[in-house]
Amino acid sequence: MTAAQRAATSRAGVGEPLLTVRDLVVRFRTHDTVVYAVNGVTFDVAGGETVGLVGESGCGKSVTNLAIMRLLAKPAGRIEGGSVVFDGQDLVKMPEQDVREIRGRDVAMIFQDPMTSLNPVLTIEEQLTETLRAHKQVTKESARARAIELLSLVGIPKPETRLSSFPHQFSGGMRQRVMIAMALALEPRLLIADEPTTALDVTIQAQVLELIRDLTQNLGTAVILITHDLGVVAGMTQRINVMYAGFIVEAGLTTDIFAKPSHPYTVGLLHSIPRIDGSDEPLIPIEGAPPNQRVAPVGCPFAPRCQWRLERCASENPVLEAVDSGSVTVLTGATATHRVACFNPPTPEEAAAGRPLREQGSRA
Amino acid sequence: MTTSPTPMILVEERASRGLWGDAFIRLRRNKPAIVGVVCIILFVVVALFAPVLAPFDPNKTGLGPSFAPPSREHLAGLDKLGRDELSRVIYGARISLFVGIISVTIGLTIGGILGALAGGAGGKTDTIVMRFVDVMLAVPGILLAIGIVAWLGQGLPQIMLAVAITNAPIFARILRGSLLGLREAEFVTVSRSMGADGRRLLLRHMLPNALTALIVAATLALATAIIDVAGLGFLGLGPPDPSIAEWGTMLTDSTEALRRAPWLIFAPGIAIVISAIGFNLLGDGLRESLDPRLKR
- Tell me the pLDDT band of A9, cut-offs 50, 70 and 90: low
Task: Enumerate the residues of chain A whose CB falls inside 8 A of the CB of residue B205.
Answer: 119, 122
Has residue A328 been placed in a domain?
yes
Number of alpha carbons in the 13 Å side-chain half-sphere of residue A173: 21
On whether any CB of chain B is under 8 Å from the CB of A131, the answer is yes
Domain range spanning residue A119? 3-353
Question: What distance in Å separates residue A147's CA from the closest CA in chain B?
Answer: 14
Has residue B133 been placed in a domain?
yes
pLDDT at B188: 92
- pLDDT higher than 90, residue B275: yes
- pLDDT higher than 70, residue A210: yes
Has residue A186 been placed in a domain?
yes
> C-alpha angle B192/B119/B212, rounded to 5°?
90
Has residue A53 been placed in a domain?
yes
Q: Within the 154-213 window of chain A, which residues sit less than 8 Å (CB to CB) from chain B? A: 154-157, 164-166, 168-171, 173-174, 177, 179, 182-183, 187, 203-204, 207, 210-211
On whether any CB of chain B is under 8 Å from the CB of A1, the answer is no
- pLDDT higher than 50, residue B184: yes
Nearest to A71 among B3, B16, B189 (CB): B189
Paired with A110 in beta bridges are A193
ipTM, two decimals, is 0.83
Task: Enumerate the residues of chain A whose CB falls inside 8 A of the CB of residue B7.
Answer: 155, 157
State the Cα–Cα distance between residues B190 and B124, nearest whole angstrom: 26
Has residue B160 been placed in a domain?
yes
* Residue in A with minimal Cα distance to B211: A121
- Tell me the pLDDT band of A4, cut-offs 50, 70 and 90: low
Domain range spanning residue B244? 20-67+75-294
The model's pTM is: 0.80
Task: Enumerate the residues of chain A whose CB falls inside 8 A of the CB of residue B10.
Answer: 171, 173, 204
DSSP label of A103:
B
Q: What is the mean pLDDT of residues A247-268?
A: 92
| % of chain B exceeding 70 in pLDDT | 92
State the Cα–Cα distance between residues A112 and A129, nearest whole angstrom: 21
| Interface contacts A/B by beta carbons within 8 Å | 124
Nearest to B12 among A109, A134, A171 (CB): A171
State the Cα–Cα distance between residues B106 and A101, nearest whole angstrom: 39
Q: Do B193 and A120 touch (CB under 8 A)?
A: no
Q: Do B192 and A166 touch (CB under 8 A)?
A: no
Q: Which of A152-156, A326-330, B114-118 has the lowest mean pLDDT?
A: A326-330
> Are B247 and B43 a contacting pair, CB within 8 Å?
no
Has residue A97 been placed in a domain?
yes
Q: Kind and range of the H or E element at A190?
A: strand A190-194
Has residue B191 been placed in a domain?
yes
SS3 A121: coil
DSSP assignment of B90-156: HHHHHHHHHHHHHHHHHHHHHHHHHHHHHHHH-HHHHHHHHHHHHHHHHS-HHHHHHHHHHHH-SSH
| % of chain A exceeding 70 in pLDDT | 92
Q: Do B3 and A214 touch (CB under 8 A)?
A: yes
- pLDDT higher than 50, residue B290: yes
* Residue in B with minimal Cα distance to A135: B195
Q: Do A174 and B12 touch (CB under 8 A)?
A: yes
> Are B63 and B56 a contacting pair, CB within 8 Å?
yes
Task: Enumerate the residues of chain A whose CB falls inside 8 A of the CB of residue B202.
Answer: none
Mutate to test the interface with B, among A110, A119, A215 (most CBs of B within 10 A): A119
Q: What is the mean pLDDT of residues A82-86?
A: 94
CATH of the domain at B104: 1.10.3720.10
Has residue B250 been placed in a domain?
yes
Q: Do A155 and B11 touch (CB under 8 A)?
A: no
* Residue in B with minimal Cα distance to A111: B190
Q: Do A153 and B3 touch (CB under 8 A)?
A: yes
- pLDDT higher than 60, residue A325: yes
State the Cα–Cα distance between residues B281 and B286, nearest whole angstrom: 9
pLDDT at A10: 54
- Tell me the pLDDT band of A359, cut-offs 50, 70 and 90: low
On whether any CB of chain B is under 8 Å from the CB of A28, the answer is no
Who has greater pLDDT, B292 or B83? B83
- pLDDT higher than 80, residue B195: yes
Q: Do B1 and A2 touch (CB under 8 A)?
A: yes
- pLDDT higher than 90, residue B142: no
Nearest to B7 among A130, A134, A155 (CB): A155
On whether any CB of chain B is under 8 Å from the CB of A219, the answer is yes
State the Cα–Cα distance between residues A43 and A17, nearest whole angstrom: 10
Q: What is the mean pLDDT of residues B55-60?
A: 90
Task: Enumerate the residues of chain A whose CB falls inside 8 A of the CB of residue B296.
Answer: 168
Report CA-CA distances (Å) from A352 to A102, A214, B286: 44, 33, 61
Q: Kind and range of the H or E element at A270?
A: helix A264-271
Nearest to A155 among B6, B16, B192 (CB): B6
Has residue A361 been placed in a domain?
no
pLDDT at B47: 93
Considering only CA atoms, which of A281, A245, A280, A278 is closest in space to residue A263?
A245
Q: What's at B24, amino acid-wise? A: F
State the Cα–Cα distance between residues A76 and A29, nearest whole angstrom: 5
Nearest to B6 among A73, A117, A211 (CB): A211
Task: Enumerate the residues of chain A whose CB falls inside 8 A of the CB of residue B26.
Answer: none
On whether any CB of chain B is under 8 Å from the CB of A215, the answer is yes
Has residue B8 been placed in a domain?
no
Number of domains into which chain B is organized = 1
- Tell me the pLDDT band of B18, cut-offs 50, 70 and 90: low
Q: Do A211 and B19 touch (CB under 8 A)?
A: no
Q: Do A116 and B186 touch (CB under 8 A)?
A: yes
Q: Do B8 and A135 touch (CB under 8 A)?
A: no
Number of domains into which chain A is organized = 1
- pLDDT higher than 90, residue A360: no
CATH of the domain at A318: 3.40.50.300
Q: Do B295 and A168 touch (CB under 8 A)?
A: yes
Has residue B209 been placed in a domain?
yes
Has residue B2 been placed in a domain?
no
pLDDT at A35: 93
Question: What distance in Å separates residue A293's CA from the closest CA in chain B?
Answer: 22
On whether any CB of chain B is under 8 Å from the CB of A71, the answer is yes
Has residue B9 been placed in a domain?
no
State the Cα–Cα distance between residues A86 and A95, nearest whole angstrom: 14
Task: Enumerate the residues of chain B whose CB falls inside 8 A of the CB of residue A72.
Answer: none
- pLDDT higher than 80, residue B14: no
Nearest to B295 among A120, A131, A155 (CB): A120
State the Cα–Cα distance between residues B32 and B285, nearest whole angstrom: 7
Task: Enumerate the residues of chain A whose CB falls inside 8 A of the CB of residue B4.
Answer: 214
Q: Do A134 and B2 touch (CB under 8 A)?
A: no
pLDDT, one tens digit per residue, over A117-144 is 999 888 899 898 888 888 888 888 899 9
* Residue in B with minimal Cα distance to A170: B12
Q: Do A134 and B197 touch (CB under 8 A)?
A: yes
Q: Kind and range of the H or E element at B152?
A: helix B141-152
Which residues have a Cβ under 8 Å from the Cβ of B29 and sit 6 or more positions away? none
- pLDDT higher than 60, residue B296: no
Q: Mean pLDDT in chain A?
A: 87
State the Cα–Cα distance between residues B113 and B258, nearest whole angstrom: 45
pLDDT at A180: 92
pLDDT at B17: 58
Question: What distance in Å separates residue B1's CA from the closest CA in chain A?
Answer: 7
- Tell me the pLDDT band of B2, cut-offs 50, 70 and 90: very low
Has residue A358 been placed in a domain?
no
Which residues have a Cβ under 8 Å from the Cβ of A125 and sit 6 or more positions away? A144, A147, A163, A164
- pLDDT higher than 90, residue B276: yes
